[in-house]
Chain A
Amino acid sequence: KAGVTQTPRYLIKTRGQQVTLSCSPISGHRSVSWYQQTPGQGLQFLFEYFSETQRNKGNFPGRFSGRQFSNSRSEMNVSTLELGDSALYLCASRPSTGGLWGYTFGSGTRLTVV
């Protein structure tokens, strides 16, 4: 079955702009999480959605937001982009909540802010 699909793969934006990233989880997976990966900070949790509800949010400013649709697809939005937002943004899905399930990650969207 298809894996976690993230679009677009690469994105270049200018400071001050806003961006929307998309994630299609594995069919049947209802939990979707987003992570930011940078060389300095590593992998940091952004937020998790389950059944269209945000269940947890990491320590990121309010410029970072997301949502999940009824088909479990998810989008994340970053407004007023800053240079420091340049990163690989990873989406991960799993069948349900509960620590028994490992996450399956997508290939990521590499965002460059210039």
Chain B
Amino acid sequence: AQRVTQPEKLLSVFKGAPVELKCNYSYSGSPELFWYVQYSRQRLQLLLRHISRESIKGFTADLNKGETSFHLKKPFAQEEDSAMYYCALSTQGGSEKLVFGKGTKLTVNP
């Protein structure tokens, strides 16, 4: 069965500090991984897709198949990064669905 684990429910850092939000997955196939972000009172938004290897708002994430991880990192956190972050795995095979982790609430303190 597919599973996404985000071990930290809450993460608090100071502005300017590095931040890493952890995500581990369990999936027997070839995964497609995403990070979604939900700012206060806003809709869930796609932040990153592993397939595109992009950097959005200073965030990056690298898929490590050996460790089955897809951690989200930013070298210098900003107050506006405070939000709920969800890691998600997309299954394949023609009838895809997203399997979400329970989320990590990031608070960046001034």
Known: A42-B102, A42-B103, A99-B92. A58 touches B97 (CB 8 A): yes
Structural contact, A105 and B95, CB atoms closer than 8 A: no
Structural contact, B97 and A105, CB atoms closer than 8 A: no
Asked if B34 lies at the interface with its beta carbon under 8 angstroms from chain A, I say yes
Q: How far is the CB of B30 from chain A (nearest CB, A)?
A: 9
- How many residues in A have their beta carbons less than 8 Å from beta carbons of B? 24
A99 to B33, CA, bound (A): 9
Proximity string of chain B (87-110) to chain A, C-beta cutoff 8 Å, 1 when within and 0 when not? 010101011111111110000000
Known: A42-B101, A42-B103, A43-B86. A97 touches B43 (CB 8 A): no
Structural contact, B96 and A99, CB atoms closer than 8 A: yes
Asked if B46 lies at the interface with its beta carbon under 8 angstroms from chain A, I say yes
A108 to B102, CA, bound (A): 18
Structural contact, B96 and A100, CB atoms closer than 8 A: no
Residues of A within 8 A of B96 (CB): 48, 55-56, 97-99
User: Which residue of chain B lies nearest to A50 when distances are taken between CB atoms in the complex?
Assistant: B95
Known: A42-B102, A99-B92. A105 touches B44 (CB 8 A): yes
Grouping DSSP codes into helix (H, G, I), strand (E, B) and loop, the A interface class, with mixed when no group exceeds half, is: strand
Asked if A65 lies at the interface with its beta carbon under 8 angstroms from chain B, I say no
Residues of B within 8 A of A92 (CB): 44, 98
User: Which residue of chain B lies nearest to A106 when distances are taken between CB atoms in the complex?
Assistant: B43
Structural contact, A103 and B94, CB atoms closer than 8 A: no
Structural contact, A33 and B43, CB atoms closer than 8 A: no
Structural contact, B95 and A104, CB atoms closer than 8 A: no
Proximity string of chain A (32-58) to chain B, C-beta cutoff 8 Å, 1 when within and 0 when not? 010100000011110010000001101
Can you sample 20 A-B contacts with CB below 8 Å?
A: A3-B43, A33-B98, A43-B86, A43-B98, A48-B97, A55-B95, A55-B96, A58-B97, A90-B44, A97-B95, A99-B51, A99-B92, A100-B49, A102-B34, A102-B49, A104-B46, A105-B43, A105-B44, A106-B43, A108-B43
Interface residues of A (CB under 8 A from B): 3, 33, 35, 42-45, 48, 55-56, 58, 90, 92, 97-100, 102-108
